[in-house]
Amino acid sequence: MACPVTVVIVRADTAESYRQRILKAQLHIQNHLSEDFSLDELARAACFSPFHFHRIFRGMVGEPVKEYVRRLRLERAALRLRGTDLPVTEIAFEAGYEAHESFTRAFEAMFGESPSSFRKSRSPLRRGTETQERRTTMDVSIRQLSRMKVAFVRHIGPYGEAGKAWERLMAWAGSRGLFGPSTQFLGICLDDPEITPPERIRYDAAITVPESTQGEGDVGVQELGPGEYAVATHVGPYNKLGETYARLCGEWLPQSGRELADAPPIEFYRNSPQTTPEEQLVTEIYMPLAPRS
């Protein structure tokens, strides 16, 4: 007699619901990274039982919740060290460490060097005649970005490998008639590839959508803006965008008198890579600015 076999069938709509709910938890973390929040709070945001939430999150994201939050806070601390003059103690406190020593230990374990050494070696504030000459040609405008709603598919991995996320988003939006003359195509760049390991980089392929649009499965919705942004135009291949980011943050920002806000940069793609030669691709980089003090 054959042994009985139990077959577990996971319905497609259930899988989509789980992905959507975990995405809500990730967005909650992303938008409240400076705040203290409990596993119960995250579970409520994702509409999961607190008893099971941790296991579900780890199974679907690949990291325990606390380790995920800890990594994002340390990566943000690295960005602060590299791009601001904030005291290390203030950056440590913002990252959730009350003692400088514990922050230093955690930072060294993740990046292989102390915070002060990292700041010294990674600072984008370059000096020299070439930099001074290039500053005069860096064309940056400051614009107000209105609130907008976007649908997005999150890609985890190197920025250059986000094609499947775009394919998924285009198929989803096209089947729902969401494309129109005013639709904007944009990327939300949540991690710095010089800090975050390539396999952990987060990128949201996104399009603007009507207010009534709801997420579905691995397609989420979120709001951007309103806010003030420094805008620079990059012309050329997407794999060269890092050079424009470096100039914007390393040359324009230090002499602008402004500080960056605690929000990700946004890339607006003004023409299509399907019909435009690489050297003619136009991308507007929007860097979020903190309000003037």
Q: Write the pLDDT tens digit of every residue in 37-94.
A: 888 889 998 888 887 788 889 888 889 999 999 999 999 999 999 888 889 999 999 9
Beta bridge partners of 142: 230
CATH class of 140-288: alpha beta
CA–CA distance, 293 with 246 (Å, rounded to integer): 25
Closest CA to 112 of 80, 142, 139, 74: 74
Q: Is 122's pLDDT higher than 70?
A: no
Q: For the chain, how far is it from start to end, CA to CA, in angstroms?
A: 78
Question: Across all residues in the chain, what is the average pLDDT?
Answer: 87
Report the alpha-carbon distance of residue 73 to residue 79 in Å, rounded: 10
Spatial distance between the Cα atoms of 94 and 33, rounded to a whole number of angstroms: 9
Mean pLDDT within 166-187: 97
- Report domain extents, the chain: 12-62, 67-122, 140-288
Is the predicted pLDDT of residue 100 greater than 60, yes or no? Answer: yes
Alpha-carbon span 263 to 255, nearest angstrom? 21
- Give the per-residue pLDDT at 132: 43
Model pTM? 0.77
CATH number for 67-122 (one of 3.40.50.300, 3.10.290.10, 2.40.50.140, 1.10.10.60): it is 1.10.10.60
* Fold matches, 67-122 and 140-288: no
pLDDT at 264 over 50: yes
pLDDT confidence bin for 185, thresholds 50/70/90 = very high
**Cβ atoms 191, 197 nearer than 8 A:** no
